[in-house]
Chain A
Amino acid sequence: MHLPLAGKAPLDLQGLSREPVTGLYVHVPFCFHKCHYCDFYSIPSQTDERMRAFVDRLLAEAALWRASAVELRPRTIFFGGGTPSLLPLDAMRRLLEGLQSLFDLAQVDEWTIEVNPATAERDYCCMLRECGATRLSFGAQSFDRAELKMLERHHNPDDVARSVALARAAGFERINVDLIFGIPGQTMRSWLHSLETAISLGTPHISCYALTYEPNTPMAVKKRVGTIVAIDEAVELQMLQETRRRLAVKGMAPYEVSNFARPGEACRHNLLYWDGGSYLGFGPSAASHVHGVRWKNRGHIGEWERAIDDSTLPAAEVEQLTQPQRMGEHAMLRLRLTDGIDVADFAARWNDDPITRFADPITRYGRQGLLVASEKSIRLTEAGVAVADAIAAEFLTTAGR
């Protein structure tokens, strides 16, 4: 079967691999309020009606895929946004149940939903658990009021502990707390306070992201015009290193640049991304990858809606990666992981020995103590993590276009 496409870019469904797709991402593009650092696609202040209509269309998009030759048999599902928990309870239930009935979810062993700590409720969490979710993620960001204000996050520091308790009561063991460091005005001391508070909540997973000034966000503009001053690069680096050290001591070693988990508690969905796995993304701006073909849904909700209403796939920006590009991406993503590039796995996948292919950056950065390469793996040292992008860029170009 051949589905018409809304975008100009040809997504050749027939050409996609027939191997089952094992990941599903759902993008819920609504937020209560737009945070000042955020450049995810989301729109604030939505009516319940629009959100219900959104669920209808999302299920319609899912149905288009159900009818296609591509087989989606997810092992991991991730609901991100936006703020998925902003969907009214009944709408969310309908969405979860709708997906259950469209696809075979028997093999799902991780289903994460991002939840706003300010508005988490017991009934809501119970419903999520009942309908199959296994993991919740709370955007705590900071436990300092002034810093939350700086980020324009509308919740209180205490909301997080309350939400985590609610989630536990609803039966969730696997919980993540997101934190941000490098906020203007933040000191090492206030950051360690936030970090310790998060650790004390006892969740098995913590993510700590350095604040990124994404272009065209209010934070970036304020920085440019000088109303805020970014914290010193050296301090930010120290924060990253101290965070990685501290969490490791507490039994939550970093498994990626910004992600920390107790053994076995790493986010499997993210690992799928980072290991070059296949996933479909539903909802506006959601990205998909099926065996070397990448595309992105139309970002604007109106365009996405129109495409669905015309029974067309909202896919755009379709890209068929070449083998060198796939190798480059593989290296780029795996280098961010603590385990690094698995030499045997790389060789088997691409029929290409990574030690030979990347000999140049390996020697160069090896000499500088930024990475270590053995017969088993190529991975960054702690010093290398600080400059991971520069190293990954070199691997990308070495792999070729």
Chain B
Amino acid sequence: MQIRNFSIIAHIDHGKSTLSDRLLMRAGAITEREFQSQMLDDMDLERERGITIKASAVTVFHDHKMPDGRIEKFMLNFIDTPGHVDFHYEVQKALQACEGAILVVDATQGVQAQTVANAYAAIEVGLEIIPVINKIDLPSAQPIVVAEEIEQVLGFAAEDAIEVSAKTGKGIDELIAKLCDQLPAPRGNPEAPTRALIFDSIYDDYRGVITYVRVMDGEIRKGQKIRFMGTDKQYQVTDLGKLTPRPTQVQRIGTGEVGYIVAAIKDLHDVRIGDTVTDDDNKAAEALPGYKPSQQMVYCDFYPSGKTQYDELRDAMDRLSLNDSSFSFEPESNDALGFGFRCGFLGLLHMEIIQERLEREFNIDMIQTAPTVTYEIKQTDGKVLRIDSPSQLPNPTNVEEIREPFIKMNLILPGDTVGNMMKLCEDRRGVYQKTEYIGSTRVMLTYEMPLAEVIYDFYDRLKSATKGYGTMDFDFIGFRHGELVKVDILVNGDRVDALSVIVHRSTAEARARKLLVRLKEEIDRHLFEIPLQAAIGGKIIARETIKSVGKNVTAKCYGGDVTRKRKLLEKQKEGKKRMKRVGSVDIPQEAFMAILESGE
């Protein structure tokens, strides 16, 4: 039996999920009805946001008519990749489990930023790529134009692109035939010691961690003693299986195949994506290349508020991290906000997902501080340290250099919005790289830019600068020196650590002023005047004042209707649930996030 391993990659909404389901259906793995309910991504939240967080691998069997007319059975394994930039590393590992990829491009939208990013990622891993133009059933489809774009930007011959409609099924047979004919068969040595790549894992309440692997060399058997080479932990395989797409037990997973391992592993953090599984009795000499621990780039604090207690928040985060090894948290306490947690995320979107799940699934009330990136600090004593919060910044006299994370960003936008976009990028300290044309109307701009500048509402700005048409994708490229300073915010004379920001020296004052104005809007007037100050070191660079409440007394007591009076007063207080008291000032959640919006 022949084996083909592949992924489907696409810009969001170009039809990756629909096409996956259609392929499964054609291969007889799911019924028309299941097709309708798109079963590959199963979390509600993902569905709503249109992204897939968890990769999974599905195996189907297909009878293919070979060029010489014989019918041969093919095992098609397709490996789902996470669909967002935050999960860049996970995407890369999933792609490494394949020999080929289907690159889906929407016939009405053309090449977009994630199309480019994903295609590059696949090329980098050395995959054979089959370009597919989807949604050709739509009247506004322009398959020829899109095929030319693909050729121009990515270099795949226009005539090689297959036109399909995932919706109607048109072109699907041709696509499957091409998968069988064109993708390389997996290589690898069945006789060598076992080496399997971990490309995904999920936590199951009953069975513990379920680890997805692609076997590169040798095989994995039920009952085998295995060792994870990165973490150097040893387990025994209790169960092996494949998703077809229902879980199906197997006795072994051979070279070139994919499947999952159950081995009584309790903690998801022990299973690292990119790690190599080997046979504990016959260890491989060398692990598979490219393993690194997942890299958290964005940090923020969560503090319990309202009805939520510290323990409840911790338990909820414990539950979430069972299912998401790239989310981390550590206890943190803060003069202003009390006891909470410092949390690390792969990126902004990842942070939003976690926050939303805590609130929705666990009914948690919390205050979230504005996200910050990780900085690298070179001290005068030569030591280099990473900090993920402005408050960790050492005393300025001990700091020789602050380095900030840089990204390389590709932006695809209509040609007539390039001016707007360049202005935005320059404002955000972007370093221009190049411009490429995509067809006659669109342009791809490449910039290198500090990640911190992207956190500050960059995406919204991009959308408005490009009338909604612009798309972006970025990749971390390293730490670079920056003229950075820490701006502290004092509320009523008290420094509020959670409001501190690290910003570029040239924009510090303007940023500080805007930030204070936003804080003034967010913090209610109190019974006393509240000075707001921004300071670098001991030097005040901006100030504002929140005037005291002049009058807050209702004239009438509503006669004997005391209940009404009481309810009115209770309501006055209730409007302010998500608040933290700092000294004697109540600061609402919005104020902590206001730091984010003051960029412009």
- Residue of A whose beta carbon sits closest to that of B569: A393
Known: A80-B559, A274-B557, A329-B562. A386 touches B552 (CB 8 A): yes
Complex partner residue of A387 from B552, B556, B559, B569, CB under 8 angstroms: B552
List A contacts of B556 (CB < 8 A). 209, 212, 258
- Residue of A whose beta carbon sits closest to that of B549: A387
List A contacts of B527 (CB < 8 A). 365, 368, 370, 387, 390-391
B572 within 8 A of A: yes
A329/B561 in contact, CB under 8 A: no
A289 within 8 A of B: yes
B187 within 8 A of A: no
User: How many whole Å from B464's CB to the nearest CB in chain A?
Assistant: 30
A210 within 8 A of B: yes
A364/B584 in contact, CB under 8 A: yes
B551/A296 in contact, CB under 8 A: no
Count residues of A near B (Cβ-Cβ below 8 Å): 51
Known: A287-B561, A287-B562, A332-B566. A388 touches B553 (CB 8 A): yes
List B contacts of A234 (CB < 8 A). 550
Complex partner residue of B560 from A279, A368, A391, CB under 8 angstroms: A279
Interface string of A274-294 (1 = CB under 8 A from B): 100001010000111100001
B559/A296 in contact, CB under 8 A: no
List B contacts of A391 (CB < 8 A). 527
A residues 327-386 near B (Cβ < 8 Å) are 328-329, 332-333, 336, 364-365, 368, 370, 385-386
Interface string of B552-588 (1 = CB under 8 A from A): 1111110111110110111011000000000010000
B565/A332 in contact, CB under 8 A: yes
Interface size class of B (residues with CB under 8 A): 20 to 34
How many angstroms between the C-alpha atoms of A328 and B567 in the bound complex? 12
B528 within 8 A of A: yes
Known: A365-B527, A386-B551. A25 touches B557 (CB 8 A): no
List A contacts of B568 (CB < 8 A). 389
A86 within 8 A of B: no
Known: A365-B527, A387-B527. A286 touches B560 (CB 8 A): yes
User: How many whole Å from B289's CB to the nearest CB in chain A?
Assistant: 61
Known: A332-B565, A368-B527, A389-B569. A25 touches B554 (CB 8 A): no
B528/A368 in contact, CB under 8 A: yes
List A contacts of B552 (CB < 8 A). 386-390
A residues 249-291 near B (Cβ < 8 Å) are 256-258, 270, 273-274, 279, 281, 286-289
Counting chain A CB atoms within 10 Å of each CB, the highest count among B528, B561, B573 belongs to: B561
- Residue of A whose beta carbon sits closest to that of B551: A237
B569/A296 in contact, CB under 8 A: no
B555/A257 in contact, CB under 8 A: yes
A233 within 8 A of B: yes
B557/A333 in contact, CB under 8 A: yes
A212/B569 in contact, CB under 8 A: no
User: How many whole Å from A24's CB to the nearest CB in chain B?
Assistant: 10
User: How many whole Å from A212's CB to the nearest CB in chain B?
Assistant: 6
List B contacts of A25 (CB < 8 A). 559-560
A296/B561 in contact, CB under 8 A: yes
The chain A residues found within 8 Å of chain B, CB to CB, are 23, 25, 78, 80, 209-212, 233-234, 236-237, 240, 256-258, 270, 273-274, 279, 281, 286-289, 294, 296, 317, 319, 325, 328-329, 332-333, 336, 364-365, 368, 370, 385-394, 396-397
The 9 closest A-B pairs by CB, nearest first: A209-B555, A393-B569, A388-B553, A210-B555, A287-B561, A287-B560, A237-B551, A387-B552, A390-B552
